[in-house]
Amino acid sequence: MRAFLGGRLAPRREVTATDVERAVPWIVRDATFAELMNVLTSGTLLCAFAVALGASNTVVGLIAGIAPLCQVLQLSATAVVETLRARKAMALVSAVVGRTMWLAVAGAALLPVGPGRLAVLLVALGLRAAINSHYICAQNSWMRDLLPDGSMGDFYARRMRASYLAGMVAGLAGGLMVDLFAKATGHAMHGYAFLFVVAFVFGEAAVLMALKVPEPELPPPTGEPLHGRLLAPLRDVNYRRFLAYIASWNLTSGMAAPLFTIYLLRRLGYPLSWVVVLEAAGKVAHLLTLGLWGRLADRHSSRSVVAVAQPFYWVSLLLWPLAGFLGGATPVTLVVVAAIFIVNRVAAAGTDIGNATLAMQLAPRGGATSYLAVRSLVMNPASFVAPVLAGALTDLLARVPVLRAHALDLALVTAALVGIVSAVLLRRVTQEGASAHRAVLADIAVALTSRWRDEPGDR
């Protein structure tokens, strides 16, 4: 396999610390271009595109859930990784092929009005997600063996900071572009088509960045059958507890994400450009706190960071009924909604870094492929069920006359309650070096106080 691949795609028998240091900027660039693609093809813009096509709340939830559902294909991806033993080649080929599906989505935007547009969108998203499952499986295992544990939190903070900054700009530009197309032509679909083509270009550019990153060679095969390797994480009591936690957490975040956009567009009546600006405010807060959360994860453990960040996430969900009570026309509502987005994204910065690094650190080096694949097998079905459940629950509540006006509020409160359950499950997960909550909070207070004291002198 090494001779066949050759050059930059072949795994290396030895990857030095210097090699890793040189690779980090390229990993960050890869993540940045990939995030530009992801922002233009997911979240607010994808939900808004589906709404523009006439999708119901349930179909919007289904669209949000397709990608995680297809991650069950990591079972086959694990077998391919173990057979080929060339994770970099597998990841990059999957990325190149899978990202061409955004051209099909762009084509769906230009089709005549009718159910065919939604059908093309669903098929293209399904194919993209199926191929992407093989990319994720190979890429996660590749990064686990490349990056050292002691600096993983700081690395993920740097990577997320760069990608979220680019994504924030792309999200703003994307939303404004759709609104400009709508005003200029009276038809937003050409704007969406343009965005998906641009997203395709960004996605393929990310592959060029990843070519510069070396892949450590996998250890020799142990001879253990695939089903035995896949069962190893389930025999690990602590990892099994982690799997229960991460499934419940993905139910919470997966239920909440599409409801934010639906709430703003349908309940409060905000235009898409306002939605994108509010989301950008949250991303700025996310960006500014990533470095702090990353340092805290390296100092106090990933588990401790997640435990501290989670409650802020629940609070952001429980504030939505207040915005609904105030109504979309008041400036106070806009302030409340901005606060919701800021609190939510600050909390998400901590949980994103903590969950990503905790999953990596609990998996053994050289054997991470099966651990991370099983995590995806557990986590992603929950992420599929969550948005579908949120959309179906909202539609169901809206059919009850007395609850119709508060259907979205009740769905978001339900998501918050599931999040509290996930916190209980997290308490059962152990990690070496984990600190008490008060130690993490004390460090946060010191960091914020130091920054506040330094600002006058800086000016």
Residue-wise pLDDT tens digits, 316-335: 999 988 888 887 768 888 88
Q: Residues of the chain with pLDDT > 90: what percent?
A: 25
Res 447 pLDDT > 60: yes
Q: Would residue 85 be called left, alpha or beta, if left means φ above 0 and alpha means ψ between -120 and 50 degrees?
A: left
Give the pLDDT of residue 456. 45
Res 151 pLDDT > 80: no
8 Å CB contact between 180 and 191: yes
When pLDDT is averaged across residues 291-315 and rounded to a whole number, the result is 88
The two tokens of residue 47 are 């939900």
CATH architecture of 2-217+227-451: Up-down Bundle (1.20)
pLDDT tens, 336-386? 999 999 999 999 999 988 998 898 888 887 677 778 878 877 887 777 788
**Alpha-carbon gap, residue 169 to 440, rounded angstroms:** 31
pLDDT tens, 9-38? 888 888 888 888 899 899 989 988 998 998
Give the pLDDT of residue 244. 92
All residues at 6 or more sequence positions from 40 whose CB lies less than 8 Å from its CB, including other chains = 170, 171, 174, 195, 196, 198, 199, 202
When pLDDT is averaged across residues 139-163 and rounded to a whole number, the result is 78
Q: With bands split at pLDDT 50, 70 and 90, how would you rate the model's confidence at 1?
A: very low
Residue type, 208: L
Q: With bands split at pLDDT 50, 70 and 90, how would you rate the model's confidence at 208?
A: very high
Q: With bands split at pLDDT 50, 70 and 90, how would you rate the model's confidence at 4?
A: very low
8 Å CB contact between 236 and 229: no
Closest CA to 52 of 233, 227, 186: 186
Res 8 pLDDT > 50: yes
More confident position, 205 or 174: 205
Q: With bands split at pLDDT 50, 70 and 90, how would you rate the model's confidence at 6?
A: low
CA-CA-CA-CA dihedral for 247, 248, 250, 256, to nearest 10:
160
**Alpha-carbon gap, residue 304 to 123, rounded angstroms:** 40
The two tokens of residue 25 are 């900027």
pLDDT tens, 260-278? 888 888 888 888 778 878 8
For the chain, the structural domain boundaries read 2-217+227-451
